[in-house]
Structure 1
Amino acid sequence: MSDFQDNARTAEAAMREVFPATPLLRNDHLSARFDADIWLKREDLSPVRSYKIRGALNAMRKRRDEGLFVAASAGNHAQGVAWMCRQFGVKGVIFMPVTTPQQKIQKTTMFGGDNVELRLIGDYFDDCLAAAQAFCASEGGYFLSPFDDEDVIEGQASVAVEIEAQLGRVPDHLVIPVGGGGLSSGILSYFGNQPNYTFVEPAGGACLRAALEAGRPVALPRVDTFADGAAVAKIGARTFERLQGVGLANTLSIREDRLCTTMLEMLNVEGIVLEPAGALSVDALKDLGQAIRGRTVVCITSGGNFDFERLPEVKERAQRFSGVKKYFILRLPQRPGALKGFLELLGPDDDIARFEYLKKSARNFGSVLIGIETKAPDSFHRLYAALDEGGYTYQDITDDEILAQFLI
């Protein structure tokens, strides 16, 4: 057994003084759907509803004499550090983006209490990362990286220690979400090449893929913060050193809109609340097909810190991705009966979700923003055929990001 494996097991044992092992649960719904033996490692059920408490605990237990811990986080690492600051009776200053969901800000404040000072800076994780590092340089304190720290990586590897003990063996296939790489590099370092791996990233923050293509960590020019728990512009240097040999074929990038369909499915079918990053591993099953059929697969549901105020957005994005909700701009003649004529084209399953005149003038035609929800994507083929036959002028703007963000 390697020194890293020994250290990961020591870290896992130390965690039992703070919280019980998170459950590894077989999921019958997913197992039947994908014809495999699917297990979920429920990191969304840790005390801070993510695996981030592990790295924070392991690093901080080794440095309890430090006077001050400083962290930068999009939310989950902040909660782990805050929890452990109060647990160990030490002080912490935590930097978070201004755009962090309120649920994560409130929980961080609650977990840390008087032991933690929270500072909201910048729109992206990398903004508050720079601010936290500058604070350490000028004010002192130990900077606790959310992923690029050997003790944090070692702490996250405790997930693998628990999986092996709970399953009784190494699984055939592991599906692991990737942000900065702390969890994935820790598990890979513990299990080595025994299982097959799939490393999953949000398409708007695929920093591992970018690093593999470049042969080194590189900064993404733009990051979509929807999957904030994994939306990192640049993978860590230490984590990439461990991940650089995984190969592009073992990585997946998942569109954020598609991720929403899995979040809704897990909530509605299984009653499991997952944040966007926490749903990555489950969503990836859709792309694995024959590679996992008949095999034992463990998906790590890395976090459940979801603000239900975001649920309408998740539903909206899921519907648009699934093709059951579309928006288009329609030109209607400014005459009596024109609207009635359009409404008669709708089918029994078509509901108007949005109707707004964009121009109100004395012109012969006016532009209308229409949003339609239906039960099956094929309904739109029939509707558009009827519009064409009726001589209507219209433009589908569902996938036009600029127009959609401005109008919807």
Structure 2
Amino acid sequence: MDFVKRAQAAEAAMRAVFPPTPLLRNSLLSERYGADVWLKREDLSPVRSYKLRGAFNAMRKAQASVYVCASAGNHAQGVAFMCKHFGVHGVIFMPVTTPQQKIMKTRMFGGSHVEVQLVGDYFDDTLAAAQAYCADEGAHFLSPFDDDDVIEGQASVGVEIIQQLGAAPDMVVVPVGGGGLSSGLRSLFGPDVSMRFVEPTGAPSLAMALRAGAPCDVSPIDSFVDGAAVARIGQRTFAHLSEVDPNHVLALDEDRICATIIEMLNVEGVVLEPAGALAIEALSELEDEIRGKQVVAIASGGNFDFERLPEVKERAQRYSGVKKYFILRMPQRPGALKDFLSILGPEDDIARFEYLKKSARNFGSVLIGLETTRPENFDRLLSALDEAGFTYTDITANETLAQFVI
């Protein structure tokens, strides 16, 4: 049986567990890009990501009594959900640093069928512990992506797209982490459907593998886009992706993805995790290519911890240019603060104001965060500061300083 038929069989078997996720036309994006844009809403699956597909397909084929996985997020929840469905025992290894919300949801989906073991500060330690457990106990290890049955299961996303549209679209835009979803879709659609693959700038595992001709470690990675922040793409997944045109792999800045999360939440009422927003934000890079075409962007997940919302909003504002941070050298004299405040425009607001230390008898250093409604307002403000003789340093893009003071 060829790959397409196996993926179709996996999709058909899933219908006994959960319905197809919606494929919804998005008017906002369609109008913005002059295209027929559809969102495949994997954020609306029972575990709010596509990961339960691969877990289901691998587990129905392995038919073991004990399953083990290592994950800090969506894979853990997918495996837990399927352990309960199949009535088998699962041992979920998660880093000690995993947010309580994710631990709670994993336990909720698995119920009495799963036990969660918190091991290690870093994922590599967690993975090693899970694999050691499998060796000692003879349990079946479930890879989050580098497994032929998992790849086949993730390809069911594409089977549903074809069924829901009545035909394959002109283009599919898909996020890439370890490569399970992207390799499955590419193998399913073949050369008839144009595909674009999107990675976060801080974890370019596919782009680097294509350049090297083999999977390679791209550590250290930025883990902010946790659903796609993988240091090394899978060996099996890369076998499906090795012929991808490097020009079809896009890298998006993490702060930029935050702007998409905020817009989709505020305008569309759609809750997306960072990885789930990758394909949607990539449309802005593809505007000339997709105009007049039917395009499907995969919204891969919506497991967003709202405790992260202030950070996401902060990063989105900094990326869009409406929020900046400065170290301002303020004269230590009566009226100096009033002089500074008089420079602010009607759309400017102080988000943070903190004296750091006095650098000299007559001057003090101030950390100041400013918000405005339009990026161009900063041009006027900085010109006014220069004219008034204030000395300042823009630290908005300085990541090292940002970690300590922002």
The aligned residue for residue 36 of structure 1 is: 35
Q: How many Å apart are 1:238 and its aligned residue?
A: 0.1
1:257 is aligned, of 251, 255, 258, to: 255
RMSD value, Cα:
1.2
Superposition pairs for residues 182-193 of structure 1, below 5 Å? 182-193=180-191
Deviations 1:53-101 (A, max 9, x none): 000001111122x121010113001000000001111111112233434
CA contact (8 A) 1:126 1:233 kept: no
Does 2:101 align with 1:103?
A: yes
CA contact (8 A) 1:103 1:306 kept: no
Give the Cα–Cα distance (whole angstroms) in 2 for the partners of residues 72 and 243 of structure 1. 24
Q: How many Å apart are 1:361 and its aligned residue?
A: 7.7
The aligned residue for residue 352 of structure 1 is: 350
- SS of 1:347 mapped into structure 2: coil
1:325 is aligned, of 323, 326, 329, to: 323
- SS of 1:205 mapped into structure 2: coil
CA contact (8 A) 2:175 2:198 kept: yes
Give the Cα–Cα distance (whole angstroms) in 2 for the partners of residues 35 and 102 of structure 1. 42
CA contact (8 A) 1:207 1:234 kept: yes
Counting aligned pairs with the same residue, the percent is: 69
Superposition pairs for residues 173-184 of structure 1, below 5 Å? 173-184=171-182
Deviations 1:8-64 (A, max 9, x none): 111101100000000111000100001000000000000000000000001111122
Return the letter of the residue paired with 1:13. Answer: A
The aligned residue for residue 387 of structure 1 is: 385
Give the Cα–Cα distance (whole angstroms) in 1 for the partners of residues 130 and 258 of structure 2. 32
Q: What is the aligned residue count?
A: 406
Q: How many Å apart are 1:362 and its aligned residue?
A: 7.3
- SS of 1:185 mapped into structure 2: helix
Return the letter of the residue paired with 1:116. Answer: V
Return the letter of the residue paired with 2:262. Answer: L
Give the Cα–Cα distance (whole angstroms) in 2 for the partners of residues 23 and 307 of structure 1. 22
- SS of 1:180 mapped into structure 2: coil
CA contact (8 A) 1:102 1:307 kept: no
The aligned residue for residue 271 of structure 1 is: 269
Q: How many Å apart are 1:131 and its aligned residue?
A: 2.4
Q: How many Å apart are 1:137 and its aligned residue?
A: 2.0
CA spacing shift, 1:200–1:361, aligned 2, 3 Å: closer
Give the Cα–Cα distance (whole angstroms) in 1 for the partners of residues 37 and 53 of structure 2. 24
CA spacing shift, 1:361–1:256, aligned 2, 3 Å: closer
CA contact (8 A) 2:47 2:77 kept: yes
The aligned residue for residue 215 of structure 2 is: 217
CA contact (8 A) 2:261 2:273 kept: yes
The aligned residue for residue 13 of structure 2 is: 14
Deviations 1:228-284 (A, max 9, x none): 111111000000011010021010011110000000111111100000000000010
2:84 is aligned, of 59, 83, 86, to: 86
CA contact (8 A) 2:359 2:365 kept: no
- SS of 2:90 mapped into structure 1: strand
